[in-house]
Amino acid sequence: MALKSTVYKVALQVADMDRSHYRNHALTLALHPSETEERLMVRVLAHALNAPGDDTETPLLPARGLSATDEPDLWQHDRTGALLQWIEVGQPDERRLARACARSERVVVYAYAGSAAIWWKGLENRLARLQNLAVWQLDAAASRELAGLARRAMQLQVTVQDGAIWVGDGERTVELQPQALLAPAR
């Protein structure tokens, strides 16, 4: 018998002063049996950092990510169905990112865990040619601390100011300082 995903509900309050984005988001996420709570929480963070600014834009939605090779963790389409954002969590391979950059206007990767630096060193030169790719690295200790906030029902507050991020649940707060490994060409 196959293991089933575990459902997590998140009431997410975002105050992103860097983007002037102040919104509440209700998320229902499935934790895949092979996924860790650390990865789940990085997905929540990715949503907070990339959600559209107002109701006139189409929403950022969860995709099948781990379960499908042709879908990211999060994505946003415009009203015509064109792919605007492709967001990956973890350490995707070069081919996957090249295909994503060919399909989407903007591709963002949030690499986490202690092995992220090794992954990046192996791909850095080959990914530099992808003009619409942004790669961010989260400190391994901070992402593990973020996993400590995971609950089946969560109320989280995310505050972003000058590149610093605070994620709190009313009792505890985790501070993150994502490092830009690759910024898209403008």
Q: What percentage of residues in the chain have a pLDDT greater than 70? A: 95
Q: How do 153-161 and 133-137 pair as beta strands?
A: unpaired
Q: Where are the alpha helices (DSSP H) in the chain?
A: 37-50, 94-103, 116-127, 140-147
| Tens-place pLDDT, residues 145-173 | 999 999 999 999 999 999 999 999 999 99
- Report pLDDT digits (tens) over 33-92: 889 999 999 999 999 999 987 777 899 998 876 666 789 999 999 999 999 999 999 999
- Cα(10)–Cα(46) distance, rounded to whole angstroms? 13
Break the chain into its structural domains and give their ranges.
Answer: 6-182
Q: Look at residue 63 in the predicted model and tell me its pLDDT.
A: 87
C-alpha count within 13 angstroms, C-beta hemisphere, residue 81: 0
pLDDT of residue 156: 98
Q: Please spell the DSSP secondary structure of 149-160, one letter per residue.
A: T--SEEEEEEEE
- Bridge partners of 153, per DSSP, are 9
Q: What is the pTM of this model?
A: 0.94
Per-residue model confidence (pLDDT) at position 67: 63
List, for residues 27-41, the tens digit of each pLDDT value: 999 998 889 999 999
CA separation for the pair 126, 119 (Å, rounded)? 12
DSSP-assigned beta bridge partners for residue 107: 86, 133
Domain 6-182 has CATH 3.10.640.10: yes
Beta bridge partners of 28: 9
- The C-alpha angle 94, 142, 70, rounded to 5 degrees, equals 30
Q: What is the mean pLDDT of the chain?
A: 93
In angstroms, the CA 5 to CA 92 distance is 22
Single-letter code of the amino acid located at 113: A
pLDDT value at residue 111: 98
Model confidence band, residue 132 (pLDDT cutoffs 50, 70, 90): very high
Which amino acid does the sequence have at 121? K
